[in-house]
Structure 1
Amino acid sequence: MSTAPSEQKPVRHPEKQKRPDRPSGRKPSWIRVKAPTSKGYQETRELARGLNLHTVCEEAACPN
């Protein structure tokens, strides 16, 4: 019977772990500014909606 040393699983996204040296607080209000849209953007969005299409970011609920 062999005993293997206990191995810890590698952390998949270490940057997303809670870190005591970086408290997670609310984001400043200036970060949550909506980007201005143009006529071309509106036309493209309406065309995609009319064809019942969705963007990758919409499907993934991307915050950007």
Structure 2
Amino acid sequence: MKWTEVEEIAIQLSDAHPDVDPLKVNFVDLMRWVMALPEFDDDPARCGERILEAIQQAWIDEVA
């Protein structure tokens, strides 16, 4: 899984952290949690604020 697969990342984050409100996750933790997902395999240097915002929004949409 790569940084651009925001929908799949959001689904996996929702499964991995069911009690977490995605609105309250800071980007440092979000990036760390994404990189810890078992299927994630991408370069951390390819991640930026826009990608993290997209992941966070997809996660919010996933749990809504």
Q: TM-score range by the shorter chain?
A: under 0.3
Structure showing greater Rg? 1
Report the structure, 1 or 2, having the larger helix content.
Answer: 2
TM-score by length of 1: 0.22
TM-score by length of 2: 0.22
